[in-house]
Amino acid sequence: MIAQAAVSAPQQTPPSTTAANAGRGGRGPTSAYPVRQPADPAIVDRGKQLFGVNCSFCHGPDARGGEGGPNLLRSQVALDDEDGEAIAVVVQNGRPDRGMPKFEMSGADVQAIAAFIHSFPLRGSGVVPQSDVLVGDAKAGEAYFNGPGKCAACHSVTGDLARIGSKYDARTLETRILMPGRGRGPAPQLSPTTVKVTLASGETIEGTLNRIDDFAVSLTDAQGNRRTFPRDGDSPKVQVNDPLQAHKAMWRAIGDDDIHNLTAYLAAVK
Amino acid sequence: MRIAKGIALAACLWFLPAALSAQGIDPASLTRPLTDSWPTYSGDYSSRRYSTLDQINQSNIRNLALAWTARLTAGPGGAGVYSISNTAVPPPTIVGGEAAEAIQVGGNFGNGPGTVVGAILEVNGILYMAAPDNAWAVDAEDGTVFWHYFWKTRGGTHVGNRGVGIYGDWIYFETPDDYLVCLDRKSGKERWHKEIADFGEQYFSTTAPLVIGNHLIVGTGDDLDAPGFLQSYDPETGELQWKLYTVPTKPGDPGLDTWANLDAASHGGGQAWTVGAYDPETHLYIFGTGNPTPANVTPTRGEGDNLFTCSLLAVNVDTGKMAWYFQTSPHDTHDWDSTQTPVLVDGAFGGKPRKLVLQGTRNGYFFVLDRVTGEHLLTSKFSESANWAKGVDQRGEPVRNPEKDFTVPGSLVSPSNLGATNWPPPSFDPETGLFYICTNESFSMYFLMDPDPREVTGLGGGQEIGLGSLGTSIEAIDYKTGKIVWKHMFSAATSTGIGLLATAGKLLFGSDPMGNFIAFDPAKGTPLWHTRIGQLTNAPETYMLGGKQYVLVSGGDIIYAFALN
């Protein structure tokens, strides 16, 4: 390359679903996706660069999903967003519950990123509909719920799980069977992990667990005091009570068929 | 395969004139076992991360204390942190780069832009380290920053940088926008930079260049649909010596029959984004390759193994030709790269002395091969939770269970995308004969989201929803049997530890998910010493300077050096 200074910086160019891919199984646009006016190409280009630096690792260089981050082209936040206002909320605050850090970025930079995300024409093939997820046998799911799954030991479809099928979409429901609070949608009220520390003197201190490692355990007691105790092997004695332990215990044991059956059963509890 | 005779003769050719540099580094010295310095990514070519230093040892570890810290400031103006009351002259920042103005980096994935996640080289009393777009030289005695180099980026994924390479008086590092930059180690001034990959095709470069004789081994990365490759450059001129594609890119290339067609193969990924190991006897550089693309939705790739993605490859550094391969994850469907650092060990196997290579991969399996021939010797599962394979076939390769792919109704799979282990490097202690690895028993739901595989590129098409982890740990594996000799589970499960270091002081340094820096008994896994730093971001290292042994670890943009009180 001879000219170096005068030319503008080359830009990384994710393929879009426009002309180049037009013959690859497209089904034409549907009205489900927003129709947008084309943005200023200079702003889209700047957004592309900013996206490449800050976003593409997790959300993919083509914004369709990357290392852990979801497809942004079909995310509801991005679909609802007009000019960066909805995306900015996520970018500037992060989503700590899902592992997304916050980014210190100006409103103009977020607008440019939004313009880049919005520059991808969306086509009608959409995502696999939630209803397709429900392949399980609800009767078998009910039997598992009340039988080997031991779900009924803590839960009831007429009690805490009443109308559960109308609260969550199928994927979220399926995910939350395995781990409450995960996936999309409002987080349920979960009991905190508690801990009981028994000192050498026999004194016991209980509270909600703040953190624990090999060398210290920290809790907040009923009076709101934060207390931290050094640990040395088995001293002091520490008992952690994780209310979600029964769910974690399922992960190595349950088969996908049982998960799908449970999901079909609970999805019908409306 | 047969290795040509005359290896010893060839090896002699690396001994460059002594006049090359008294203060810099003679590349031939890199072939020696690790002692006082830390001159290359893994310390030495074997990648054992085992130091013969024993000043710090089990008997005095309780006296290990902070010697100094160094805070690194990234960007066009920063080199170190200087307050108004500090009368010291700030070190120079040298600015380079092809962009008229650097693109704003908003957050570096939750870390500061000066975060060090890679190797810190120690040569003749100076430390050299890098972060995306930034490199520094720091006094190994007290942490003073000597110089800082800043590269104005034109973009690219800024996920991390694995460190620099050193040859003579020259320092080399890669930039996210695909340049190899050569700096003067004394001044930080730029000597030259070369474009190493096509930025427009979404390549981004994070790995550390590795100096081998008169070769500079350079890898790069890409998460979309470009072919992976490894390159060798002349460290003096920056001219390309050879380029080895890791996937077939033209008719007749080996492995093409494991893909649906040439188009799929030549967009098939297999990136070389971490540093491998080198065997000076055979001239083989052994490295792991990344995932195939599209990663999660596979019909366009065909039903085959998709060579040479997710494989260990041995390449002759003089010719750039592949000597052997072994695929550790045939037809991967979860973006589980097999780029984890391979470790070279000379040891008994099956009652005979053998030259081995060991690797624990992101998919949860551990492998032992003959590193001269590539012959498979052992496969075992180091992650109890890993549930994606039906078993191991006659080749010793895990057999994927398609029901654990991304599926429409959802599949419960361990590990998560982060893997049972990842880039944080393992270690091998020749005294215990144990291979140490950071592990994570993570689970996710994997949903297929795109109904049309032809629409899918890169890492798209699926949605992974993380459930959490049953625990993170450090495991000690007996390479002769694949058995786990000890496993130290951590109380909290967030992410895996950040890499390991074994020393002749009968110590294994590592970290836990809560940010404790810990020295373990390598024989039993018992913690012997710790200090809470809060955040640790690179694997520990050690060096000896002025009669004092230091242990080094980074936490974000701060470097911590420990020594005996």
Query: Could you tell me the residue ranges of all domains in chain A?
Result: 37-118, 130-183+247-267, 194-243
Q: How would you class B514 by CB atoms within 10 Å of its CB: exposed for 0-12, middle for 13-18, buried for 19 or more?
A: buried
**Does residue A64 carry a pLDDT above 90?**
no
Rounded Cα distance between B414 and B381, Å, is: 12
Instruction: Give the residue-averaged pLDDT of B496-500.
Output: 87
Which of B115, B157, B526 is the best mutation test for A, with the most CBs of A within 10 A?
B157
Residue B429: strand pairing partners: B434
- By C-alpha distance, the chain A residue nearest B514 is A213
Sequence-distant (≥ 6) Cβ neighbours of residue B353 within 8 angstroms: B346, B347
Mean pLDDT across chain A: 85
pLDDT attached to residue A34? 66
Span A100-146, pLDDT tens digits: 888 888 899 999 999 999 988 766 556 788 899 999 999 999 999 99
Q: Which residue has the higher pLDDT, A23 or B235?
A: B235
- Angle (nearest 5°) at CA B112 between B109 and A215: 85
**Does residue A217 carry a pLDDT above 50?**
yes
Instruction: Give the residue-averaged pLDDT of B150-163.
Output: 93
**Does residue A31 carry a pLDDT above 80?**
no
Strands B93-96 and B145-151: parallel
Q: Which of residues 224-263 of B touch A (CB under 8 A)?
A: 224
A214 interfacial to chain B (CB closer than 8 Å)? yes
Rounded Cα distance between B488 and B439, Å, is: 10
Q: Are B361 and B349 in contact (CB under 8 A)?
A: no
Q: Which of residues 388-417 of B touch A (CB under 8 A)?
A: 403, 407-412, 414, 417
B492 interfacial to chain A (CB closer than 8 Å)? yes
Rounded Cα distance between B83 and B449, Å, is: 52
Strands B411-413 and B398-400: unpaired
Span A219-264, pLDDT tens digits: 999 999 999 999 998 999 999 999 999 999 999 999 999 999 999 9
Rounded Cα distance between A143 and B95, Å, is: 68
Torsion-angle region of residue B471: left (phi > 0), alpha (psi -120 to 50) or beta?
A: left
Which of B62, B98, B104 is the best mutation test for A, with the most CBs of A within 10 A?
B104
Which of A251, A252, A258, A260 is the best mutation test for B, with the most CBs of B within 10 A?
A251
B445–A49 CB contact, under 8 Å: no
pLDDT attached to residue B112? 76
Q: Which of helix, strand or coil describes residue B238?
A: coil
The band of B32, judged by pLDDT with boundaries at 50, 70 and 90, is confident
Min Cα–Cα distance to chain A from B489, Å: 9
Give pTM, 2 decimals: 0.89
pLDDT attached to residue B64? 98
Neighbouring C-alpha atoms within 13 Å toward the C-beta of B562: 25
Sequence-distant (≥ 6) Cβ neighbours of residue B237 within 8 angstroms: none
Looking at residue B2, the DSSP 8-state letter turns out to be P
CB burial of B296-322 (b: ≥16 within 10 Å; e: otherwise) equals: bbbebbbebbbbbbbbbbbbbbbebeb
The band of B492, judged by pLDDT with boundaries at 50, 70 and 90, is low
Whose structure tokens read 């200023």? A40
Nearest residue to B16 (alpha-carbon basis) of B6, B29, B7, B5: B29
Helix H or strand E segment including B265: helix B262-266
Which of B115, B224, B267 is the best mutation test for A, with the most CBs of A within 10 A?
B224
pLDDT attached to residue B219? 97
Chain A residue numbers with beta carbons less than 8 Å from the beta carbon of B156 are 12, 52-53
**Does residue B467 carry a pLDDT above 60?**
yes
Amino acid identity of residue B462, one-letter, is G
B65 interfacial to chain A (CB closer than 8 Å)? no
Sequence-distant (≥ 6) Cβ neighbours of residue B212 within 8 angstroms: B27, B30, B45, B278, B285, B317
**Does residue B14 carry a pLDDT above 60?**
no
Lowest mean pLDDT among A43-57, A233-247, B215-229: A43-57
Min Cα–Cα distance to chain B from A58, Å: 9
Span B62-111, pLDDT tens digits: 999 999 999 998 988 755 554 555 556 678 899 999 888 888 776 555 56
DSSP assignments along B439-466, one per residue: EEEEEEEEEE--S-GGG--TT-SEEEEE
Sequence-distant (≥ 6) Cβ neighbours of residue A15 within 8 angstroms: A21, A62, B224, B457
Tokens of B328: 């550790």
Torsion-angle region of residue B320: left (phi > 0), alpha (psi -120 to 50) or beta?
A: left
Q: Which of residues 41-100 of A touch B (CB under 8 A)?
A: 48-50, 52-54, 56-58, 60-62, 64-68, 70-71, 74, 91, 94, 98-99
Whose structure tokens read 């190797």? B119
Rounded Cα distance between B103 and A59, Å, is: 19
Q: Which residue has the higher pLDDT, B3 or A61?
A: A61
pLDDT attached to residue A105? 87
pLDDT attached to residue B101? 83
Q: Indicate the Cα dihedral angle A126, A131, A134, A137, nearest 10°.
A: -150
pLDDT attached to residue B391? 97
Is the CA virtual torsion B373, B375, B380, B385 positive or negative?
positive
Q: Are A128 and B449 in contact (CB under 8 A)?
A: yes
Span B106-152, pLDDT tens digits: 655 556 788 999 999 999 999 999 999 999 999 999 999 999 999 99
Instruction: Give the residue-averaged pLDDT of B333-345.
Output: 97
- By C-alpha distance, the chain A residue nearest B154 is A9
Span B163-180, pLDDT tens digits: 999 999 999 999 999 999
Q: Which residue has the higher pLDDT, B330 or A98?
A: B330
Tokens of A144: 């598992």
Instruction: Give the residue-averaged pLDDT of B456-475.
Output: 91
pLDDT attached to residue B489? 93
A107 interfacial to chain B (CB closer than 8 Å)? no
Amino acid identity of residue B480, one-letter, is K
pLDDT attached to residue A212? 93
Which of A44, A53, A132 is the best mutation test for B, with the most CBs of B within 10 A?
A53
Q: Are B438 and B474 in contact (CB under 8 A)?
A: yes
pLDDT attached to residue B288? 98
Using only C-alpha atoms, what is the Rg of chain B? Answer: 22
pLDDT attached to residue A44? 92
Instruction: Give the residue-averaged pLDDT of B154-170.
Output: 94
Three-state SS across B356-425? EEEEECCCCEEEEEECCCCCEEEEEECCCCCCCEEEECCCCCEEECHHHCCECCCEEECCCCCCCCCCCC
pLDDT attached to residue A7? 38
B516 interfacial to chain A (CB closer than 8 Å)? yes
Q: How far is CA B317 from CA B10, B215, B222, B233, B561, in A?
A: 12, 7, 23, 11, 35
Distance from the first to the final alpha carbon of chain B: 52
Percent of chain A with pLDDT over 70: 85
Q: Are B118 and B61 in contact (CB under 8 A)?
A: no
Looking at residue A36, the DSSP 8-state letter turns out to be -
Chain A to chain B Cβ contacts (< 8 Å): 232
Rounded Cα distance between A249 and A233, Å, is: 25
**Does residue A30 carry a pLDDT above 60?**
no
Q: How far is CA A256 from CA A168, A182, A264, B408, in A?
A: 19, 18, 12, 12
The band of A26, judged by pLDDT with boundaries at 50, 70 and 90, is very low
Sequence-distant (≥ 6) Cβ neighbours of residue A245 within 8 angstroms: none
Strands B215-219 and B210-212: antiparallel
Lowest mean pLDDT among A88-97, A197-206, B121-130, B232-241: A88-97
Min Cα–Cα distance to chain B from A270, Å: 20
Instruction: Give the residue-averaged pLDDT of A83-97.
Output: 88
Of the candidates A4, A57, A179, which has its C-beta nearest B109's C-beta?
Answer: A57
Whose structure tokens read 């779900």? A151
A9–B100 CB contact, under 8 Å: yes
Instruction: Give the residue-averaged pLDDT of B52-58.
Output: 97
Rounded Cα distance between B289 and B272, Å, is: 5
Q: How far is CA A129 from CA A133, A171, B361, B414, B448, in A?
A: 7, 10, 34, 25, 11
- By C-alpha distance, the chain B residue nearest A172 is B465
Sequence-distant (≥ 6) Cβ neighbours of residue A160 within 8 angstroms: none
pLDDT attached to residue B108? 57
A25–B463 CB contact, under 8 Å: no
Helix H or strand E segment including B128: strand B126-131
**Omega within 30 of 0 (cis) for the link into A236:** yes
Rounded Cα distance between B514 and B511, Å, is: 8
Chain B residue numbers with beta carbons less than 8 Å from the beta carbon of A126 are 451
Percent of chain B with pLDDT over 90: 80
Min Cα–Cα distance to chain A from B31, Å: 35
A171 interfacial to chain B (CB closer than 8 Å)? yes
Q: Which of helix, strand or coil describes residue A171?
A: helix
pLDDT attached to residue B116? 95
- By C-alpha distance, the chain A residue nearest B337 is A67
Q: Which of helix, strand or coil describes residue A267?
A: helix
How many beta carbons lie within 10 A of that of residue B463, not counting itself?
A: 25
Mean pLDDT across chain B: 91
**Omega within 30 of 0 (cis) for the link into B294:** yes
B104–A50 CB contact, under 8 Å: yes
Tokens of B424: 């944080």
State the fold for domain B7-49+70-564: Methanol Dehydrogenase; Chain A (2.140.10)
The band of A82, judged by pLDDT with boundaries at 50, 70 and 90, is confident
Of the candidates B105, B387, B448, which has its C-beta nearest A54's C-beta?
Answer: B105
B459 interfacial to chain A (CB closer than 8 Å)? yes
Sequence-distant (≥ 6) Cβ neighbours of residue B203 within 8 angstroms: B156, B178, B197, B220, B221, B222, B226
ipTM value: 0.90
Span B419-435, pLDDT tens digits: 999 999 999 999 999 99
Helix H or strand E segment including B528: strand B527-532
A234 interfacial to chain B (CB closer than 8 Å)? no
Instruction: Give the residue-averaged pLDDT of B314-343.
Output: 98
Tokens of B137: 């030289």
State the fold for domain A194-243: SH3 type barrels. (2.30.30)
**Does residue A28 carry a pLDDT above 60?**
no
A65–B459 CB contact, under 8 Å: yes
Whose structure tokens read 């004194």? A203
* CATH superfamily, with its number, for domain A37-118: Cytochrome c-like domain (1.10.760.10)
Rounded Cα distance between B492 and B520, Å, is: 18
Q: Are B174 and B33 in contact (CB under 8 A)?
A: no
